[in-house]
Amino acid sequence: RKNKRLPVIPELKLQVSELHRQKQELETVVREQSSELAGELDFQKMHLGKKAKELEEIREELQVRIEELEEENEHLKRQQLMEGEVKTKLREETAQLTAENMDLEEQLDQKDRWIKKLHSQIKCLEISQKAKQTPALPKEYLGMLEYKREDEARLIQNIITDLKPKGVAVNVIPTLPAFILFMCVRHADYLNDDNKLKSLMNRIIQGVKKVVLAHQKDVESLSFWLSNTYQLLNCLKQYSGEEQFLKQSTPRQKKNCLQNFDLSEHRQILSDLAIQIYHQLISVMQKTLTPAIVPGMLEHESLQGISSMKPTGFRKRSSSLYNDSETYSISSILQELSVFYSAMSHHGMEQSLTKQAVKQLFFLIGATTFNQIMLRKDMCSCRKGMQIRCNISYLEEWLKENELQSCGAIDTLRPLAQAAWLLQVNKSTDEDAKEIAEKCTELNPVQIVKILNSYTPIDDFEKRVTSSFVRQVQDRDLLMLDTDYRFQVTFPFYPSSTALESLQVPSSLNLEFLTRI
């Protein structure tokens, strides 16, 4: 066994020496690393010292800044405290001034009440003094008429159906029926009686329709009821309370406005009815006037010589196309126009509506005469042109006498006036053709050509119009004028100055069952 261990000892020694060597190497490495760590540690200590110094400087700067901010904060707190004190003082002063202002206002109100009281006492003293000096004043009326429901049919019969226009026009206000009916409407509105108001309005409309239908050929009746329908329509507008209709009303009229009902639908119905009556009136007047137009404007020889230009009235004419025992003259036309105008004026028709009717009649005169020129060759001569222009001057003079120049009626005669001029001018040269084209602005080329082709010389000194001259103005268009054409009628609003409270119902109307309120 001993012999077996001896070889192991050298190996162990070698291992021990090797381990010793490794230990020394490790110690050397440890010493080197320790030296390096010591150097690194010294460097870190030095670096940390610098950083600590820098941080200390920063801390000191921050401390200084904090102190400055604390001072600024204290300063702001002091300012806020001062501002709060100022605001508190201002609020206190404002509250004090408000209280003082309210006290002053109360004192002023109290003084105003005393002043009003004193004024009232003064007025009472003045009234009592006047009452002692003057007799008692009459009863003040409200501009309304009261009637019982069962008297409604009698009211419509007496004031509409059985009323005679001529008697009313002579004795009282022409449009008095319209005012009486409206005063009854006002009372129904005052009572806030819907059924009574609707029943009355419907009966008024039906009554007017009935009387117009019964007298559809009578100018007097149609003119009278057109005026009254128009006046009733104006009353419904004027006293409707709508701002657009109150501009020219008096304070008392504004006080009399309808209070409870809107009658705009009934206004529209009345407007349509007025248009219907107007067109019926125009038709009757046209039917009456038409027979006199052609004889009076064309056939009657008002020119007995160039110097004798005055119409001579009615006279016999065997050459007339009309088989009447008497023929007509321009005077006949003027007389008919005067009758129509007098009827409309006597019945209180608004001037604007009268002007529209006159304009329509003048259009009929011009169109009918012009169409006869188109149809009758014997009317196309220089002499007839002079006669037509003379008659137009009489119509224009009639307009001036009745102050109707602004109605536009004379403008409706322009085609006729230009045709008359065409019959009198020279018709031979190029200059003549150019002048005709410039001046005959109301005539179309076909109408001009027709007149030129129909032109008949009255003596040997005149020449017929040549075909070459006619071709210079020839073209295509309409020939005749529409005599049935109607201008659109309008019913502008005209407030009445009549005070409802001053109106009285005449006993001749048999309306004793009405009570003036």
Among 90, 124, 158, give the residue marking a domain's end: 124
Return the number of other C-beta atoms located less than 10 Å from residue 264's C-beta: 11
Say whether pLDDT at 62 is over 80.
Answer: yes
Does a structural domain hold residue 322?
no
Among 70, 90, 124, give the residue marking a domain's end: 124
Cα 325 versus chain centre, distance: 54
Question: What is the pLDDT, as a whole number, of residue 319?
Answer: 39
For the stretch 170-215, pLDDT in tens is 456 788 999 999 999 999 999 999 999 999 999 999 999 999 999 9
Return the number of other C-beta atoms located less than 10 Å from residue 94's C-beta: 10
Q: Are residues 218 and 110 in the same domain?
A: no
Does a structural domain hold residue 294?
no
Say whether pLDDT at 312 is over 60.
Answer: no
- With residue 79 as reference, give the H or E element that holds it: helix 8-133
Q: Are residues 95 and 187 in the same domain?
A: no
Does a structural domain hold residue 435?
yes
What does the angle CA 101 – CA 104 – CA 105 come to, to the nearest 5 degrees? 85
pLDDT band at 130 (very low <50, low <70, confident <90, very high): low
What is the C-alpha separation between 184 and 271, in angstroms, rounded? 20
Does a structural domain hold residue 138?
no
- Distant-in-sequence, close-in-space partners of 186: CB < 8 Å, separation ≥ 6: 143, 144, 145, 239, 256, 258, 500
Q: Are residues 61 and 154 in the same domain?
A: no
What is the C-alpha separation between 72 and 67, in angstroms, rounded? 9
Say whether pLDDT at 137 is over 60.
Answer: no
Q: Are residues 459 and 509 in the same domain?
A: no
What is the C-alpha separation between 394 and 53, in angstroms, rounded? 128
Q: Are residues 489 and 358 in the same domain?
A: yes
Does a structural domain hold residue 108?
yes
Cα-Cα end-to-end distance for the chain? 167
pLDDT band at 138 (very low <50, low <70, confident <90, very high): low
For the stretch 417-464, pLDDT in tens is 999 999 888 877 888 888 888 888 888 888 888 888 888 776 544 555
Residues linked to residue 516 through DSSP beta bridges, in sequence order: 145
Return the number of other C-beta atoms located less than 10 Å from residue 316's C-beta: 8
Q: Are residues 169 and 82 in the same domain?
A: no
pLDDT (mean) for 71-88: 90
Say whether pLDDT at 390 is over 80.
Answer: yes
Q: Which residue has the tokens 């129904």?
A: 188
Does a structural domain hold residue 341?
no
Which of the 8 DSSP states describes residue 305? B
How far CA 7 is from CA of 1, 11, 12, 253, 408, in Å, comes to: 11, 7, 9, 156, 162
Q: Are residues 157 and 109 in the same domain?
A: no
pLDDT (mean) for 471-497: 73
Residues linked to residue 305 through DSSP beta bridges, in sequence order: 308
Q: Are residues 112 and 165 in the same domain?
A: no
Question: What secondary structure does DSSP assign to 257-282, as a single string?
Answer: S--S---HHHHHHHHHHHHHHHHHHH
Instruction: Please count the residues of the chain.
Output: 517
Which amino acid type is present at position 423? Answer: L
Residues linked to residue 145 through DSSP beta bridges, in sequence order: 516
Q: Which two tokens stand for residue 363?
A: 């259009």
What is the C-alpha separation between 266 and 181, in angstroms, rounded? 14
Question: What is the pLDDT, as a whole number, of residue 478?
Answer: 52
Q: Are residues 254 and 375 in the same domain?
A: no
pLDDT band at 290 (very low <50, low <70, confident <90, very high): very high
Most trustworthy range by pLDDT among 3-17, 252-266, 351-365:
351-365
Q: pTM here?
A: 0.66
What is the C-alpha separation between 210 and 212, in angstroms, rounded? 5
Q: Which two tokens stand for residue 431?
A: 């200059």
Q: Are residues 466 and 502 in the same domain?
A: no
pLDDT (mean) for 136-146: 72
List the domain range (segments joined by +) for residue 65.
Answer: 15-124
Does a structural domain hold residue 93?
yes
How far CA 35 is from CA of 24, 27, 254, in Å, comes to: 16, 12, 121
Does a structural domain hold residue 293?
no
Which one, of 326, 362, 369, 327, lies nearest residue 341 by Cα? 362
Domain count, the chain: 3
Q: Are residues 120 and 193 in the same domain?
A: no
Q: Are residues 485 and 503 in the same domain?
A: no
